A and B are shown apart, each in its own frame.
Chain A
Amino acid sequence: MMGSEPELPNPLPRPEDELEILEKAWRPPSGWNFLTVVNNTYIGVFYVGAAFLFFLLAGLLALVMRTQLAVPENTLLDPDTYNQVFTMHGSIMMFLFAIPAVEALGILLLPNMQAARDLPFPRLSAFAFWAYFIGGLFFFASLFFDLAPKGGWFMYPPLTSYEYSPGDNADFWLLGIGFIEISAIAGAIEIVVGVLLTRAPGMSLDKMPVYCWTMLVFAVMVIFAFPAMIAGTALLELERSFQWPFFVAAKGGDPVLWQHLFWFFGHPDVYIIFLPAAGMVSMIVPAMAQKPLVGYRLIVLALIGTGFLSFGLWVHHMYATGLPQLSMSFFNAASMAVSIPSGIQVFAWIATFAAAEKLQLKVPTLFILGFLFVFILGGLTGVMLAVVPFDWQAHDTYFVVAHLHYVVFGGMVFPLFAAFYYWMPYLSTRPLSEHLGRWVFGLIFIGFNLTFFPMHLTGLLGMPRRVYTYSAGMGWDELNLVSTAGAYLIGAGVAVFLVDLARNFRLATDENAGNVWNAGTLEWLPNGNYATRTIPIVTSREPIWDQPNLAEDVEAGRYYLPGAPTGYRETIITSPVHARPLYLLQMPGPSWPTVLAAVATAVFFLMLTLKWLIPAAVAGVFAIIMVLRWLWTTDPGPTHPPVDIGGGIKLPVYITGPMSHSRWAMWVVILVAATIFACFVFSYFFLWTVSSEAWPEDPRLMPESHYPVAAMLLLILSSMVVAYASRALKGVGNGVGHWPIRLALLFALSLLIGAFGAEFYGHWQTGLRATENSYGAMIYTFIANQGLYVTTLLFMSMYTIARSLCGLLNAERRATFDNTMLLWHYTVLQGLVTLAVVHLFPRMVE
Chain B
Amino acid sequence: MNPAAVSFTPLTLRMLSGALIWASHFGVIYLFTALACARGFSAMNWHGIGVVPWVIGAATLAAVSSVAVITLRSIRYIRNHTAPENALRFMLWMTASIGGLSLVAIVWQAVPVLLIPVCG
List residues of chain A with CB under 8 Å of any chain B CB. Answer: 196, 204-207, 297-298, 300-301, 304-305, 308-309, 311-312, 323-327, 329-330, 332-334, 336-337, 340-341, 575-578, 580, 582, 657-659, 689-690
Q: A327 to B37, Cβ gap below 8 A?
A: yes
Given A324-B118, A340-B104, A577-B91, A329–B112 Cβ distance below 8 Å?
Answer: yes
Q: A326 to B118, Cβ gap below 8 A?
A: yes
Q: List 15 A-B contacts (CB under 8 A).
A: A196-B8, A204-B87, A204-B90, A301-B98, A304-B19, A312-B23, A324-B119, A325-B119, A327-B33, A330-B26, A332-B112, A337-B109, A576-B8, A689-B39, A690-B38
Chain A residues in 8 Å Cβ range of B94: 297, 300-301, 304
Q: B111 to A325, Cβ gap below 8 A?
A: no
The residue that B87 contacts in the complex, of A297, A323, A577, A690, with Cβ under 8 A, is A577
Chain B residues in 8 Å Cβ range of A340: 101, 104
Q: A575 to B8, Cβ gap below 8 A?
A: yes
Closest to B115 in A: A329
Q: From residue B43, how far is it (CB to closest CB) to chain A in Å?
A: 13
Given A205-B90, A337-B109, A577–B7 Cβ distance below 8 Å?
Answer: yes
B35 contacts chain A at the CB level, 8 A cutoff: yes
Chain B residues in 8 Å Cβ range of A582: 2, 5
Q: From residue B34, how far is it (CB to closest CB) to chain A in Å?
A: 6
Given contact pairs A305-B19, A577-B87, enumerate 15 new A-B contacts (beta carbons under 8 Å).
Answer: A206-B91, A297-B97, A304-B19, A309-B105, A312-B109, A323-B34, A330-B112, A340-B101, A341-B101, A575-B5, A577-B4, A577-B7, A577-B91, A580-B5, A689-B34
Chain B residues in 8 Å Cβ range of A327: 30, 33-34, 37
For chains A and B in complex, what number of residue pairs have CB atoms within 8 angstroms? 127
> Bound complex: CA of A325 vs CA of B119, how far in Å?
6
- Chain B CB count within 10 A is highest, among A301, A305, A326, A329, for A326
Chain B residues in 8 Å Cβ range of A207: 86
Interface string of B99-119 (1 = CB under 8 A from A): 001101100110111011111
Chain B residues in 8 Å Cβ range of A206: 86-87, 89-91
Chain A residues in 8 Å Cβ range of B101: 301, 305, 340-341
Q: From residue A198, how far is it (CB to closest CB) to chain B in Å?
A: 14
Q: B109 to A334, Cβ gap below 8 A?
A: yes
List residues of chain B with CB under 8 Å of any chain A CB. Answer: 1-2, 4-8, 11, 16, 19, 22-23, 26, 29-30, 33-35, 37-39, 52, 86-87, 89-91, 93-94, 97-98, 101-102, 104-105, 108-109, 111-113, 115-120
Closest to A297 in B: B93
> Bound complex: CA of A689 vs CA of B37, how far in Å?
10
Q: From residue B23, how far is it (CB to closest CB) to chain A in Å?
A: 6
Given A297-B97, A577-B87, A324–B120 Cβ distance below 8 Å?
Answer: yes
Q: A330 to B29, Cβ gap below 8 A?
A: yes
What are the 6 closest A-B residue pairs judged by CB atoms, nearest first? A325-B120, A206-B90, A329-B112, A204-B87, A333-B109, A308-B19
> Bound complex: CA of A196 vs CA of B33, how far in Å?
39
Q: From residue B85, how far is it (CB to closest CB) to chain A in Å?
A: 8
Q: A659 to B90, Cβ gap below 8 A?
A: no
- Chain B CB count within 10 A is highest, among A304, A341, A690, for A304
> Bound complex: CA of A323 vs CA of B36, how far in Å?
12
Chain A residues in 8 Å Cβ range of B30: 327, 330
Closest to A196 in B: B8
Q: B34 to A324, Cβ gap below 8 A?
A: yes
Q: A334 to B105, Cβ gap below 8 A?
A: yes
- Chain B CB count within 10 A is highest, among A311, A323, A327, A689, for A327
> Bound complex: CA of A52 vs CA of B105, how far in Å?
37
Chain A residues in 8 Å Cβ range of B102: 308
Q: From residue A648, how far is it (CB to closest CB) to chain B in Å?
A: 16
Closest to A690 in B: B38
Q: From residue A444, how far is it (CB to closest CB) to chain B in Å?
A: 34
The residue that A304 contacts in the complex, of B16, B52, B86, B87, with Cβ under 8 A, is B16
Closest to B107 in A: A333
Q: B4 to A580, Cβ gap below 8 A?
A: yes
Given A324-B37, A326-B117, A578–B1 Cβ distance below 8 Å?
Answer: no
> Bound complex: CA of A323 vs CA of B118, how far in Å?
11
> Bound complex: CA of A337 vs CA of B119, how far in Å?
23
Q: B23 to A324, Cβ gap below 8 A?
A: no
Chain B residues in 8 Å Cβ range of A659: 1-2, 5
> Bound complex: CA of A334 vs CA of B22, how far in Å?
10
Q: From residue B98, how far is it (CB to closest CB) to chain A in Å?
A: 6
Chain B residues in 8 Å Cβ range of A204: 86-87, 90
Q: From residue B42, how far is it (CB to closest CB) to chain A in Å?
A: 8
> Bound complex: CA of A297 vs CA of B98, how far in Å?
11
Closest to A327 in B: B33
Closest to A307 in B: B19
Closest to B101 in A: A305
Chain A residues in 8 Å Cβ range of B2: 575, 580, 582, 659
Q: From residue A602, how far is it (CB to closest CB) to chain B in Å?
A: 36
Q: A333 to B108, Cβ gap below 8 A?
A: yes
Closest to A205 in B: B87
Q: From residue B47, how far is it (CB to closest CB) to chain A in Å?
A: 20
> Bound complex: CA of A182 vs CA of B84, how far in Å?
42
> Bound complex: CA of A580 vs CA of B30, how far in Å?
43
Given A326-B117, A333-B111, A689–B38 Cβ distance below 8 Å?
Answer: yes
> Bound complex: CA of A582 vs CA of B4, how far in Å?
10
Closest to B53 in A: A326
Closest to A658 in B: B6
> Bound complex: CA of A214 vs CA of B39, how far in Å?
41
Q: B87 to A334, Cβ gap below 8 A?
A: no
Q: B22 to A308, Cβ gap below 8 A?
A: yes
> Bound complex: CA of A323 vs CA of B117, how far in Å?
12
> Bound complex: CA of A717 vs CA of B97, how far in Å?
45
> Bound complex: CA of A577 vs CA of B85, how far in Å?
11
Chain B residues in 8 Å Cβ range of A205: 87, 90-91
> Bound complex: CA of A67 vs CA of B54, how far in Å?
56
Q: From residue B104, how far is it (CB to closest CB) to chain A in Å?
A: 7
Chain A residues in 8 Å Cβ range of B112: 326, 329-330, 332-333
Q: A577 to B116, Cβ gap below 8 A?
A: no
Given A325-B119, A326-B52, A578–B104 Cβ distance below 8 Å?
Answer: no
The residue that A311 contacts in the complex, of B1, B23, B93, with Cβ under 8 A, is B23
Closest to B6 in A: A658
Chain A residues in 8 Å Cβ range of B4: 575, 577-578, 580
Chain A residues in 8 Å Cβ range of B34: 323-324, 327, 689
> Bound complex: CA of A204 vs CA of B86, how far in Å?
8
> Bound complex: CA of A658 vs CA of B109, how far in Å?
38
Q: B90 to A326, Cβ gap below 8 A?
A: no
Chain A residues in 8 Å Cβ range of B26: 312, 330, 334
> Bound complex: CA of A577 vs CA of B88, how far in Å?
8
> Bound complex: CA of A325 vs CA of B33, how far in Å?
10
Closest to B39 in A: A689
> Bound complex: CA of A304 vs CA of B105, how far in Å?
14
Closest to A576 in B: B8
Chain A residues in 8 Å Cβ range of B6: 658
Q: From residue B22, how far is it (CB to closest CB) to chain A in Å?
A: 7
